[in-house]
Amino acid sequence: MTRLIKQINFPSDLRKFNKNQLKQISDELRDELIDVVSETGGHLGAGLGVVELTVALHYVFDTPRDKLVWDVSHQCYPHKIITGRRDKIKTLRKGGGLSGFTKRSESEYDPFGAAHSSTSISATLGMAVAKNLSNNNNNVIAVIGDGAMSAGMAYEAMNNAGALKSKLIVVLNDNDMSIAKPVGAMSKYLAKLLSGKLYFSFRETVKMVISAFSKRFSQKAGKAEDLLRGLVTGGTLFSELGFYYIGPVDGHDVDNLVQIFENVKNSTHQGPILIHTRTQKGKGYKPAEDSGDKYHGVSKFNIATGEQTKSQSNAPSYTKVFADTLIKHAEQDTKIIGITGAMPSGTGINLFEKKFPDRTFDVGIAEQHAVTFAAGLATEGYKPYAAIYSTFLQRAYDQVVHDVAIQSLPVRFAIDRAGLVGADGPTHAGSFDITYLSTLPNFVVMAASDESELVKMINTSVHINDRPSAFRYPRGNGVGVELPSIKDVLEIGKGRVIKEGKKVAIINFGTRLEQCIKASEILYKKGIDISIIDARFAKPLDEKLIMETANNHDALISIEEGSIGGFGSHVMQFLSDRGVFDRGLKFRSMFLPDLFIDQDTPEKMYEKAGLDFLSIANKVEETLNSNIIFAKNKNKFSN
């Protein structure tokens, strides 16, 4: 049999085929997706579930003129294969290759970049309004999963769209899963929407009854249909938000999807339309279908067996160290609560849940709610741990400020994926949390330099009952050090001296400590013996240790895995206020550069960021050899 998929480089090629060939094309596209991800790793289950949707949407709509926006966009690999990127598809998530998400700079078929959830309806509404203002007649379509519908932003957008009566199309991809099993009343509501027999049989019965009457009743058919939709389906909610609701329909029946999309495309209905499709995450690949997470995210794998290639390490992951340590504390303290926002396995809260199901809360993709929910628990004397990725905590910054910090409530933030994260690229990098948390009064902000330090910081946070605290740690495995007991706590705001040297001191905050030590070994061979400090705390600073270090060295270098405005900025401000620079101290701050770093291996990303051991060693030599200092009593540099 001739492989049709090889003849498709762009959607315009797809539209040359007959409708009866679309099922074969879908099957071939699914096979190609499995083949690609088996070599690249990445998101698989979501893409497998939307193959037919992808084919039908590009077949019916005139993309890229018609705007197609994928929510989260981790399901966009099939979309990329048929939109001009087949020749590069095996560079997915690699340095210099294709992004694992939609990206405006990558293709005109990606009208909106995404990687965080629940943004698609807002974005397409903006496009729809712009279309109207420009007198354009193109279509705008958002594809959003049921998991993303647990976030309030989706409903804010739907409410606005209904009020504006804008012409946009929302495809609800309902697969009973987001990343983990969906939670909350909304997922139960969607699950109860009549997914087949009763709805369709009743609908057809009504149509038959209507058709049996004379044509003078035909004008009432629409009202009958509306009544049916209100009485029989859960479309009532969407109808109340101003959407014309269609569904649920089989999201794997490509012929039916094409017919529905053509009807919607040609409809004269004024206002937003929601098409509710039912799909199966992991569809068409048995290992994915049988897996609990439906192969949401995978490493390279054997297609025949589904067995994934896992990196070998004797050291535990930071995520597991967090989970295991929290469990030990929870065994002794019934006030400890675990909270996550639809990321139980990613944050380790799934392990906590196995031991303490009554004290575990997955609130869905709702970080804003998660933070204020934790604040409410804290007011009642509980010890909530909000385990949220750094990049996702950004979405709840107002709640962190208003509901936690201002009230000085002892919410504990376990910030996973701190720093650069590799293949997921800039959308998932934990670049800003040091800066956006350290500016807040009443906060304790910690960063672990290794897994042992992480345990100590968790231990310490258990006893911080008068204010909020946060500890950050990276994706991946630790360095293989012995773990302390849960009784080993830190003194708040106190760093530690790792190595004593002369002239230059490095004050490290986070897991660049190992790179600092490697840099010191290179420098020692060149006759440069440096001091190394592990700061542990960005807030409060160890002012005594910093002052002693500044007074005993000619130069000071701060290092952190975060953006400008974080740890180094606070150190510089402290030293400036104390007049230390008037005495001629050289100071340099090493942090993530002022740009978004594209996906690559973490090692190469940190090289690009200038935070690897060679860059650190070069910075020390450059600082020593520089004659530039802060001029005494002047607001300028001098030589």
Give me the architecture of the 7-193+244-298 domain, per CATH. Answer: 3-Layer(aba) Sandwich (3.40)
pTM, entire model: 0.87
- The reply to whether 318-472 and 496-638 are identical in fold is yes
Taking each continuous run of H as one helix and of E as one strand, the counts in the chain are: 26, 21
* Angle (nearest 5°) at CA 225 between 222 and 231: 145
Query: Nearest CA to 299 among 423, 391, 180, 473?
Result: 423
* Angle (nearest 5°) at CA 522 between 519 and 524: 105
Query: CA 322 from chain center: how many Å?
Result: 19
pLDDT of 567 reads 98
| Amino acid sitting at position 192 | K
CATH classification (class only), 318-472: alpha beta
Start-end of H helices in 507-626: 513-525, 543-551, 567-577, 602-609, 613-625
| Cβ atoms of 620 and 506 closer than 8 Å | yes
Q: Which CATH number fits domain 496-638: 3.30.420.40, 3.30.200.20, 3.40.30.10, 3.40.50.920?
A: 3.40.50.920
Contacts 24+ apart (CB under 8 A), 299-303: 299/41, 300/38, 300/39, 300/40, 300/41, 301/37, 301/38, 301/41, 302/38, 303/34, 303/35, 303/38
pLDDT of 184 reads 54
| Cβ atoms of 224 and 253 closer than 8 Å | no
| Cβ atoms of 388 and 416 closer than 8 Å | yes
Q: What is the mean pLDDT of each run of 10 residues along the chain (639 residues)?
A: 89 97 96 95 93 98 97 95 96 95 96 94 96 93 89 92 93 72 50 38 43 45 46 64 90 95 91 93 92 87 90 89 98 98 95 98 94 98 98 97 98 97 95 97 97 98 98 96 97 98 96 97 95 98 97 96 97 95 93 96 96 97 74 37
Nearest-angstrom CA–CA distance, 53 and 70: 11
The DSSP call for residue 308 is B
Nearest-angstrom CA–CA distance, 629 and 339: 48
Sequence spans of domains, the chain: 7-193+244-298, 196-232, 318-472, 496-638
pLDDT of 199 reads 39
Query: Nearest CA to 170 among 310, 295, 75, 264?
Result: 264
Print burial letters for 38-66: b (CB count within 10 Å at least 16), e (below 16): bebbbbbbbbbbbbbbbbbbbbbbebbeb
Nearest-angstrom CA–CA distance, 247 and 238: 11
Nearest-angstrom CA–CA distance, 81 and 79: 6
Positions annotated as catalytic residues are 281, 367, 395
pLDDT of 194 reads 36
Element (H, E) at 589: strand 586-590
Our CA dihedral for 341, 346, 349, 350, rounded to 10 degrees, sits at 110
In this structure, the number of other CB atoms found within 10 A of the CB of residue 290 comes to 11
Alpha-carbon distances of 254 from 22, 169, 473, rounded to whole Å: 7, 18, 44
